[in-house]
A and B are shown apart, each in its own frame.
Chain A
């Protein structure tokens, strides 16, 4: 079974702090993703990575950055936390598509971690 592990289930931070959310997967997946999920807004993609040191912006990258130094680990960084970043954060991973130059996704599903419920006070 695919295992995606997020470092914290619950986290409380203060505005202005730099916040790190960590995600590790054990299935040698090329693709990793960070989403946030808010009531009524569904899943929104923040960033994804299709290879070590590679990253691409999702739909809502503002206020966030990411780091992928090793294949199994993908970190989400809130540079200066604000109250509107209070949310459930979900990490996911998936296998890559066969032709990396033109596509990053095969027909493989994304597998999610348990999520981190982050509160910014």
Chain B
């Protein structure tokens, strides 16, 4: 079992819809969670981080963390074609290890 699991996709949503991206992790000792966006041929760019259970909102993005169920989600409201990218989930375990998921590809169709 991988430490961080993501569905590779592609996830296709129409423009204006809510895109929901999910990530599960295997170690309950994890404490910090990050979402990165990576456009094709570019490097990952940090878009959200969350440390506590619950929701964290930043503009059109909402990160949701459920430590009991060991998942973290990213919601993108009013999806735009410019949101089409691969989204990487990342987790820090016990302050000693930084794991990245393999990413979910999102396609937003005009």
In this complex, the interface size class of chain A, counting residues with CB under 8 Å from chain B, is 20 to 34
* B43 touching A114, Cβ below 8 Å: yes
Docked Cα-Cα span, A107 to B101, in Å, equals 17
Residues of B within 8 A of A97 (CB): 95
* A107 touching B43, Cβ below 8 Å: no
Known: A42-B100, A42-B102. A103 touches B95 (CB 8 A): yes
Instruction: Across the interface, name the chain B residue whose C-beta is closest to A112.
Output: B43
* B95 touching A105, Cβ below 8 Å: yes
* B96 touching A103, Cβ below 8 Å: yes
Docked Cα-Cα span, A114 to B42, in Å, equals 6
Q: How far is the CB of B94 from chain A (nearest CB, A)?
A: 7
Residues of B within 8 A of A43 (CB): 44, 88, 100
Residues of B within 8 A of A90 (CB): 43-44
Docked Cα-Cα span, A90 to B90, in Å, equals 15
Docked Cα-Cα span, A115 to B103, in Å, equals 17
Q: Among residues 43 to 65 in chain A, which have CB atoms less than 8 Å away from a CB atom of chain B?
A: 43, 45
Q: Which of B49, B95, B101 contacts A109 (CB 8 A)?
A: B49
Q: Among residues 17 to 76 in chain A, which have CB atoms less than 8 Å away from a CB atom of chain B?
A: 33, 40-43, 45
Would you list 13 pairs from A and B whose C-beta atoms are within 8 A, ordered by A residue? A33-B98, A42-B101, A42-B102, A43-B100, A45-B98, A94-B98, A103-B94, A103-B96, A104-B96, A105-B96, A107-B92, A110-B90, A111-B46
